[in-house]
Amino acid sequence: MSKEKGILFDVTLCIGCGECYKACKEENKLPQSNKDYLKDHLSDKTFTVVEQYGNNYARKLCMHCNEPSCVSVCPVGAFTKSETGAVLYDSNKCIGCRYCMQACPHKIPRYEWETTQPRIRKCVLCYDRVKAGKLTACAEACPTEATLFGDMDKLIEIAKDRLKENKDKYFQEIYGLKEAGGGHVLILSNVPFEQLGYTSLIPQQPMPEFTKRAMEKIPPVVAVGGLFLTGMYWLTKRKNQIAKEENESLHRKYYHEN
């Protein structure tokens, strides 16, 4: 059995209650939106949403690709693919180039535009919870098991069995199994996926194959510029740290003398 974990979301079982949305907010300490949760959208403050399409409800979140394009294009290694299958992000390494946002075929990463120290924000598949042997917050909160969490091999088996045993109930494809080389979020639906707002024109090959070709065509001056910006980022960060330490030292000296 694979050690890699994932999510299986079944549109036919979702009642649109929004418990997954609320649980994600609570787990990630995200502010509650003033909007109706069905009208909210992915942002730096919302990592998963529930959207209504007629009588159906669809979830949107990071698909945690098997071979993530965000990992392949990040020049400083801020994105990594974990042993659980989750795609993780380290804000301490990020230089704010936002290549990840351009490269993602599912258009998931969001940027904190309103802060002085912005980060990329997205679902990390409850990495800390999963490492502790728990379910993701969204799966634990779902009252109808529309969202299942478990071993990828098992989830794929469950999804294929449902399609085989209920041919009249399901659109006969598993979204996320092959798109962009596949990922760790699978979706079953009773209607074609584009009717639920999922991106349908995604190659089945892993996206790094395409992003690598694109990056190779970037003029050398851009690469040099990227290195320059990276250097300036770290110099500025170090300068601010030194200034902070000197300021603290002066404060300690002042209080000691007085």
- Residues 200-226: b if buried by 16+ CB within 10 A, e if exposed: eebeeebbbebbeeebeeeeeeeeeeb
Q: State the pLDDT confidence band at 239, using cuts at 50, 70 and 90.
A: low
- Amino acid letter, residue 103: A
CATH number of 5-212: 3.30.70.20
Tens digit of each residue's pLDDT (9 = 90 or more) over 158-192: 999 999 999 999 999 999 999 999 999 999 999 99
User: What distances in angstroms separate CA 151 from CA 133, 157, 222, one per listed residue?
Assistant: 12, 10, 41
Q: Give me the mean pLDDT over the 20-38 stretch.
A: 93
Q: State the pLDDT confidence band at 209, using cuts at 50, 70 and 90.
A: low
pLDDT over threshold 50, residue 109 = yes
CA pseudo-torsion sign 143, 145, 146, 147: positive
C-alpha closest to that of 87 among 214, 230, 238, 208: 208
Tens digit of each residue's pLDDT (9 = 90 or more) over 59-86: 999 999 999 999 999 999 999 999 999 9
Q: State the pLDDT confidence band at 206, using cuts at 50, 70 and 90.
A: confident
Alpha helices (H) in 99-219, listed in sequence order: 99-103, 127-131, 137-141, 152-165, 208-216
CA pseudo-torsion sign 245, 250, 253, 255: negative
Q: What is the domain partition of the chain in residue ranges?
A: 5-212, 219-257
H or E element in which residue 8 lies: strand 5-10
Q: Alpha-carbon dihedral of residues 8, 12, 13, 15, nearest 10 degrees? A: 120
- Amino acid letter, residue 142: C
| Residues 6 or more apart in contact with residue 180 via CB below 8 angstroms | 63, 65, 67, 69, 105, 106, 202, 203, 204, 205, 206, 207
Helix (H, G, I), strand (E, B) or coil at 208: helix
